Amino acid sequence: MTRSAAFYSDALESTVNVAAAMIAMAAIRFAARPPDANHPYGHDKVEFFAAVIEGVLIIVAALLIFEHAWETWLTPRAIGLPIQGIVVNAVATVLNGAWCAVLIRYGKRLRSPALAADGWHLLADVVTSVGIAIGVGLVVLTGYLPLDPLLAAATGVYVLWSGAHMISSSVGGLMDAAPQPAVVHRVRELVADSAAGAIEAHDLRMRHAGKLTFLEFHLVVPGSMTVAASHAICDHIEETLRHDMPHLMITIHVEPEEKAKQHGVPVL
Ligand code: ZN
Ligand code: ZN
């Protein structure tokens, strides 16, 4: 309608967003499935897969935007119907703004990386849409046509960056990256505080998968301690940790002091 490369790039990006949101929705439904024989640790990691696919889609959109911007740069054309174009863009921007607030809030509350990623992505889109509307307004006011493909190219750079960011942040989850150092520190503190009766805890490892975080460590107890007594210590540690972090999946390996083999930094 407006023949503007900048508006076209914004529209292309929105189209990809719809596809990305559909992928995210399918991923969230799949992730909600309970563990089964094939996936005894649950299906949460599918959300990271989905975010990587979304990132690839977004990068394809960026390449299409660059192509269109280049074409418009070579053959500049006057922008038509600017008021209607800006109004359509403004309505879409307001809708997007309201929606991204909802997505970010629920993404945080439900600890869903796919949902939160969608929300943050949409927030950045709202900012670019405002920038594009101002830019197209300037093109119309000044008659400086090359600004239009330049705006489109800038949008392409932003879209490329957001796709790359989405991929890199999800690869961490696929690679079993550790949680934030503050979370690991808190877990070590809680283990140290709640392991009365045990001698040492070591080889503590954590990895996160969607809304779940897996924790495992070795607990050294006196060799003469009964199985029942050492299990009671484990239960107490697990209870303390889950009280603070309900999404923790905990495995504790108990060993007698004379057999203790240590690889990591001791916790106790
Ligand atoms: Zn048990
Ligand atoms: Zn050990």
- Closest ligand relative to 217 C-alpha: 2
Q: What is the pLDDT of residues 184-226, one digit of tens each?
A: 999 999 999 999 999 999 999 999 877 789 999 999 999 999 9
Query: At what angle are helices 46-74 and 147-174 packed, to 10 degrees?
Result: 160
How many angstroms separate the alpha carbon of residue 227 from the centre of ligand 1?
11
Q: Could you give the percent of the chain with pLDDT greater than 70?
A: 96
In this prediction, residue 21 has a pLDDT band, given cuts at 50, 70 and 90, of: confident
- Closest ligand relative to 254 C-alpha: 2
Please give the CATH number for the structural domain made up of 181-266: 3.30.70.1350
- Closest ligand relative to 230 C-alpha: 1
pLDDT at residue 181, as a whole number: 92
Domain with CATH 3.30.70.1350 in the chain: 181-266
pTM of the entire predicted model: 0.69
CA dist list (Å): 108 to 80, 117, 171: 42, 10, 19
Instruction: Quote the Cα angle for 116-118-119, to 5°.
Output: 65
How many angstroms separate the alpha carbon of residue 234 from the centre of ligand 1?
7
Residues near 213 by Cβ (< 8 Å), separated by ≥ 6? 179, 183, 206, 207, 245, 247, 248, 249
In this prediction, residue 261 has a pLDDT band, given cuts at 50, 70 and 90, of: confident
How many angstroms separate the alpha carbon of residue 235 from the centre of ligand 1?
6
Q: What is the pLDDT of residues 43-100, one digit of tens each?
A: 888 888 888 898 898 899 899 999 989 998 998 888 876 778 778 888 888 998 998 8
How many angstroms separate the alpha carbon of residue 28 from the centre of ligand 2?
37
How many angstroms separate the alpha carbon of residue 202 from the centre of ligand 2?
6
pLDDT at residue 191, as a whole number: 94
Burial 100-115 (b: 16+ CB within 10 A, else e): beebbeebeeeebbbb
Please give the CATH number for the structural domain made up of 5-174: 1.20.1510.10
How many angstroms separate the alpha carbon of residue 216 from the centre of ligand 2?
11
Q: What is the pLDDT of residues 88-129, one digit of tens each?
A: 888 888 998 998 889 888 888 887 766 777 787 788 788 888
How many angstroms separate the alpha carbon of residue 99 from the centre of ligand 2?
49
Q: 65-68 long-range CB contacts below 8 Å, 24 or more apart?
A: 65/8, 65/9, 65/12, 65/13, 65/152, 65/153, 65/155, 65/156, 65/159, 66/153, 66/156, 68/5, 68/8, 68/9, 68/12, 68/152
As a whole number, the mean pLDDT across the chain is 87
How many angstroms separate the alpha carbon of residue 253 from the centre of ligand 1?
11
